[in-house]
Amino acid sequence: MTVDDYIGQFHSDVRERLETVRRAIRELAPDAEESMAYGMPAYKLHGKPLVYFAGYKNHIGFYATPNGHEAFKAEFAPYKQGKGSVQFPLNQPLPLELVKKVVRYRAYPDSAKK
């Protein structure tokens, strides 16, 4: 399955959010390698994991392990979290600026400011 196939299987609301996250990642980390891993879209930069995301019935899952979640603990606090994951509910606006901050931080840790 490709990332296009994965995103295409969701209804329009989820699909639109997944595409928005995908565009943000590609814009901020254009050299990142896009693939599927663990059944979800995955991005690697210089051979190292950058971020993953996934669509669900009621939320978008976002995964920025190993250090993205600790670095943005305060910003992720309003959202349900698991080990290395955060859930952005579909009934709330997608926190796109937060997603961008995390991608920037993960892609360029020495130059990105929180």
- pLDDT tens per residue across span 16-39: 999 999 999 999 999 999 999 999
Q: pLDDT value at position 29?
A: 95
Question: Residue 60: is its pLDDT beyond 50?
Answer: yes
Tell me the domain boundaries of the chain.
3-107
For residue 111, name the pLDDT band (cuts at 50, 70, 90). Answer: low
Domain 3-107 -> CATH class: alpha beta
- What is the CB neighbour count within 10 angstroms for residue 8? 12
pLDDT confidence of residue 95: 98
For the chain, give the percent of residues with pLDDT over 70: 96
Helix (H, G, I), strand (E, B) or coil at 86: strand
Q: What is the mean pLDDT of residues 38-42?
A: 96
**Segments of 1-79 assigned E as strands:** 33-37, 40-45, 48-55, 59-63
Please state the pTM of the whole predicted model.
0.91
**CA end-to-end distance (rounded Å), the chain:** 34
